[in-house]
């Protein structure tokens, strides 16, 4: 297939040379990157299109939205996903789009598809490449991964665990965290990922809500050169969680003392001597695979339920067609197994038979080049980050990146929040050498994967997400529930998808109220989105973060993007504060570049930049300077925590906050 653009189309690779010159002239200002013939020719999605006689990627997007059952069947066959018993129907939506049942009549096992079948076909291929912060490394091939998974699965069965029992996994980024997840899934138990930085109350809340019977925990991990203890935190959480019958402890620090209680078993005692043989049982596709909790603004977190068939198929498809992963590649997403990108990296990479890189520590420790050094040494081909991480790494300079051979990088990826133009361009130019596309994705824990995402067979635009993810019936609605183009509206999904959460664990009405209560049969995600004249999609922040200033609605990302246009600002968080005149006044909390001097003069200059970009009506009421912003481990800024600190209100659930010291910094900056 050959690339050729007529406003928004690409056609199939023979006559590429004839259009390249005019194409470059026409699009050099419109597109950040354009696919070469190699990207198009070798893309996984090109293979799918050719099999179905489709020449235009946007035609594929539309057909996958119009006929979702055709698309998911086609994707399963193209990717070779194996069902123990074939499905009789792709989808049963008789209970409504809120409660779909996928792959009716089939049986399947997620772990078999991600581990066992590759252990048969490519046993010596690397499955996990691990690096500890102190420099230790391990490589685990698929044969060893299967053996390790089977030992843990058999050990869990010895502990009385079976189908439907929840297993908490409170571990850092070590291979055993992946082994535990696959082992639980293999026997039909429910994997409960728990962020390695959580405190005891947050862990206990999740254990209690899920009724977990086993907690698998590590004794600690390295972070910025120090040892972070996890065992005492786990003990405190278990004391508050009566459902937990056993605690299995993985010794990251085997030479250190570690107190064991009556419920405790070492990893070796629980699993080490178990059989390495276990056939994967055939499970119903709707068998729960995972409960992934997200933090709520108030009250307890929401437990999103994901199932074997749906999560496997959606994630495998997404990583194959958007990140374009190949079997001999290395995928590294800077994340924690406690967030949705950890399971996505695991299932997406391993469904393709590829290698997944896991790193335990901080990406800029002990030197600012740690991330780039690892990518070079381990041959990373697909790198996923958050925009916030890029902004945090930029001040170290370009030479820190360029000192390392990143020539194996082929795909750059991102998710977590909307981009600002400058960091986006820096990521593309400095890290990718202007030769790698940025596959910008957006979805959520409840989505199980992504609603929107770029593709390596069409151009990219700065900060854009490309198109709807294949098979996702996405739209943008105005306040009356009508589709809009060329203006900002609510991001919605009008049809079910396989990885859709099967409700919130034990909270059916909360699930319906959160996503389905505004318009009948329509999932309202809570993001502002727009579609430009070329059909490219953009996000503009959370709709629940929307600022209403003198009757005009605008997202905080607009202020933040404008603020970082000032050369002294590397990051900004904008929040709305009640104002008697405008209704809402905007306060911008800015992190400055090293050497920049905070003061009234700089604040005035930043205000001027924002006013010039957004208009005088949107001049922020206050510019405040801080050294850090409150973030989750996945690098999302917790704006509601900032606003609550300013107003002296209860911020709600703060269990996902990684750096509580940032709230102290916010408080000190207040006038």
Cα–Cα distance list, 567 to 326, 604, 606 (Å): 39, 14, 9
Residue that has been written with the tokens 């590759």 in this structure: 118
Q: Which of 251, 273, 288 is the last residue of a domain?
A: 288
Angle, alpha carbons 128-130-135 (nearest 5°): 165
Task: Classify residue 47: in a domain, yes or no.
Answer: no
* Residue that is last in its domain, among 258, 288, 318: 288
pLDDT at position 551 is 56
Residue 636 lies in a domain: yes
11 found inside a domain: no
The set of residues, in sequence order, having a beta carbon less than 8 Å from that of 67 and lying 6+ positions away, is: none
pLDDT of residue 29: 57
The number of folded domains in the chain is 2
Where would I find the beta strands (DSSP E) of 171-299? 190-194, 214-218, 220-223, 226-229, 246-250, 264-266, 288-294
The position carrying tokens 């178990």 is 274
Give the structural domain span for 257.
Answer: 140-288
CATH number of residue 646's parent domain: 3.30.300.30
- Asked if residue 463 is part of any domain, the answer here is no
| Contact residues for 285 (Cβ-Cβ < 8 A; gap 6+) | 83, 87, 101, 102, 103, 104, 106, 107, 108, 307, 308, 309, 310
Nearest CA-CA partner of 282 in 182, 179, 163, 191: 163
Q: Which of 510, 499, 522 is nearest to 303 (CA)?
A: 510
Q: Is 69 left (phi over 0), alpha (psi -120 to 50) or beta?
A: alpha
Asked if residue 620 belongs to a domain, the reply is yes
* pLDDT at residue number 158: 98
CATH of the domain at 147: 3.40.50.980
> How high is the pLDDT of residue 297?
44
C-alpha distances in Å from residue 132, one per residue of 139, 287, 426: 12, 34, 28
Ordered strands of the 523-531 beta sheet: 474-477, 489-493, 523-531, 537-542
Indicate the helix (H) or strand (E) that contains 312: helix 308-321
- Cα(543)–Cα(528) distance, integer angstroms: 5
Residue range 632-658, pLDDT digits in tens:
766 678 888 999 999 998 887 777 788
219 located within any domain = yes
Strand 214-218 versus strand 246-250 pairing type: parallel
Asked if residue 216 is part of any domain, the answer here is yes
The list of the chain residues with pLDDT below 50 reads 1-28, 297-298
Q: How high is the pLDDT of residue 22? A: 25
Residue with tokens 């809120």: 98
The predicted structure's pLDDT at residue 295: 64
Cβ neighbours of residue 522 closer than 8 Å, sequence gap 6 or more: 477, 481, 492, 493, 494, 516
Tokens of 596: 């920049």
Which residues are bridge partners to 524 per DSSP?
Answer: 492
On whether residue 105 sits in a domain, the answer given is: no
Tokens representing 221 are 């991990």
Residue at a domain's end among 225, 254, 288: 288
């Amino acid at each position: 297939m050959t690339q050729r653009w007529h406003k928004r189309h690409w056609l199939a690779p023979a006559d590429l040379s004839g259009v390249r010159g005019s194409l470059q002239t026409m699009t050099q200002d419109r597109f950040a990157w354009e696919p070469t013939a190699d990207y198009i020719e070798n893309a996984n999605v090109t293979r799918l299109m050719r099999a179905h006689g489709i020449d235009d990627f946007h035609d594929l997007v539309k057909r996958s939205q119009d006929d979702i059952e055709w698309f998911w069947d086609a994707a399963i066959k193209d990717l070779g996903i194996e069902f123990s018993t074939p499905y009789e129907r792709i989808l049963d939506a008789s209970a409504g789009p809120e409660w779909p049942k996928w792959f009716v009549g089939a049986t399947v096992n997620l772990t078999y598809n991600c581990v066992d079948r590759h252990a048969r076909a490519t046993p010596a291929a690397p499955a996990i490449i691990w690096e500890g912060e102190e420099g230790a490394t391990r490589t685990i091939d698929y044969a060893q991964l299967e053996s390790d998974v089977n030992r843990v699965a058999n050990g869990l069965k010895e502990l009385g665990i079976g189908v439907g029992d929840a297993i908490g996994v409170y571990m850092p980024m070590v291979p055993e965290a992946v082994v535990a997840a696959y082992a639980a899934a293999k026997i039909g138990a429910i994997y409960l990922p728990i962020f390695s930085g959580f405190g005891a109350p947050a862990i206990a809340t999740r254990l209690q809500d899920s009724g977990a019977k086993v907690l698998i925990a590590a004794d600690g991990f390295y972070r910025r050169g120090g040892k972070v203890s996890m065992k005492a935190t786990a003990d405190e959480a278990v004391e508050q969680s009566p459902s937990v019958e056993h605690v299995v402890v993985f010794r990251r620090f085997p030479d250190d003392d570690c107190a064991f209680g009556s419920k405790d078993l070492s990893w070796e005692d629980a699993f080490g001597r178990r059989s390495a043989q276990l056939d994967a049982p055939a499970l119903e596709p709707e068998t729960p695979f995972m409960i992934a909790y997200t933090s709520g603004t108030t009250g307890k977190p929401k437990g999103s339920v994901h199932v074997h068939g749906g999560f496997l198929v959606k994630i495998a498809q997404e990583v194959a067609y958007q990140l374009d992963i190949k079997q001999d590649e290395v995928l590294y997403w800077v994340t924690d197994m406690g967030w949705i990108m950890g399971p996505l990296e695991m299932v997406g990479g391993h469904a393709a038979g590829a290698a997944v890189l896991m790193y335990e520590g901080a990406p800029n420790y002990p030197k600012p080049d740690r991330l780039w050094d690892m990518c070079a040494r381990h041959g990373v081909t697909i790198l996923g980050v958050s925009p916030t991480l890029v902004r945090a790494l930029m001040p170290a300079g370009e030479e820190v990146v360029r000192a390392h051979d990143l020539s194996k990088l082929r795909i750059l990826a991102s998710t977590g929040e909307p981009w600002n133009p400058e960091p986006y361009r820096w990521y593309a130019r400095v890290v990718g050498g202007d030769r790698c596309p940025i596959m910008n994705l957006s979805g959520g824990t409840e989505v199980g994967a992504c609603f929107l995402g770029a593709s390596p067979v069409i151009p990219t635009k700065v900060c854009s997400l490309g198109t709807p993810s294949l098979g996702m019936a996405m739209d943008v609605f105005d306040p009356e529930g009508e589709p809009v183009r060329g203006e900002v509206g609510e991001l919605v999904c009008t049809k079910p998808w396989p990885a859709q959460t099967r409700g919130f664990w034990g909270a059916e009405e909360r699930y319906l109220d959160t996503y389905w209560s505004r318009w009948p049969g329509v999932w309202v995600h809570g993001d502002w989105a727009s579609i430009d004249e070329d059909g490219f999609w953009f996000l503009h922040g959370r709709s629940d973060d929307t600022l209403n200033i003198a009757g005009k609605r605008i997202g905080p990302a607009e202020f933040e993007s404008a603020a970082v246009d000032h050369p002294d600002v590397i990051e900004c968080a904008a929040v709305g504060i009640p104002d008697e005149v405008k209704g809402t006044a905007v306060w911008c909390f800015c992190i400055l570049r090293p050497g920049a001097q905070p003061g009234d003069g700089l604040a005035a200059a930043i205000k001027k930049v924002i006013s010039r970009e957004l208009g005088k009506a949107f001049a922020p009421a206050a510019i405040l300077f801080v050294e850090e912003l409150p973030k989750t481990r996945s690098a999302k800024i917790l704006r509601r925590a900032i606003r609550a600190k300013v107003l002296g209100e209860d911020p709600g659930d703060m269990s996902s906050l990684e750096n509580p010291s940032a709230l102290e910094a916010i408080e000190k900056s207040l006038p």
